[in-house]
């Protein structure tokens, strides 16, 4: 198994900035003012359970009861939550023998245990266009 851009064992970031940006783009258009609605919050549309699985990252070491909403509504703290979630659940979701951003997208969308599901075409096409556009830089 070949893992692309992943160094979780050393504690370094495993999801590239381009990958994070494109996951954010398909989740909400990377709308940093979107807030919370129903069970999801922030530009990555993160649930409370996802945040817990990610290790409960906090904004400025804030351990208050509103730490979840504060973190996931901040793009940098939310990105740390995505990193933490991927460190826990990274796997080859599409069966191509690599763990890469396409797998991280599926893990983010379907969760750590159901990432082999099919993405809807608009979601997948938006992601692919984003990756093609920003991977060239």
Using the CB atoms, write b or e for 97-127: b if 16+ within 10 Å: eebbbbbbbbbbbebbeebeeebeeeebebb
**From the candidate CATH numbers 1.10.287.110, 1.10.530.10, 3.20.20.210, 3.30.1310.10, the one assigned to the domain spanning 17-135:** 1.10.530.10
Is the pTM higher than 0.85? The answer reads yes
pLDDT of residue 9: 39
Question: Which residue reads 């608009």 in tokens?
Answer: 122
User: What is the domain partition of the chain in residue ranges?
Assistant: 17-135
Which SS3 state, helix, strand or coil, does residue 2 take? strand
The dihedral through the CA atoms of 125, 127, 93, 119 has a sign that is negative
pLDDT of residue 5: 43
* Average pLDDT per block of 10 residues along the chain, 137 residues long: 39 81 97 96 98 94 84 97 97 93 96 91 95 83
């Amino acid at each position: 198994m070949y893992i692309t851009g992943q160094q979780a064992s050393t504690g370094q970031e495993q999801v590239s900035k381009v990958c994070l940006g494109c996951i954010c783009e398909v989740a909400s258009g990377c709308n940093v003012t979107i807030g919370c609605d129903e069970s999801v919050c922030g530009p990555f549309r993160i649930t409370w359970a996802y945040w817990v699985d990610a290790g409960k990252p906090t904004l400025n070491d804030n351990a208050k009861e509103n730490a979840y909403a504060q973190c996931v509504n901040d793009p940098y703290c939310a990105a740390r939550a995505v990193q933490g979630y991927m460190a826990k659940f990274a796997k080859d979701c599409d069966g191509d023998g690599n763990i890469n951003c396409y797998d991280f997208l599926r893990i983010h969308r379907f969760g750590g245990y159901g990432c082999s599901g099919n993405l809807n075409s608009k979601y997948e096409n938006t992601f692919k266009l984003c990756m093609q556009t920003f991977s060239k830089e």
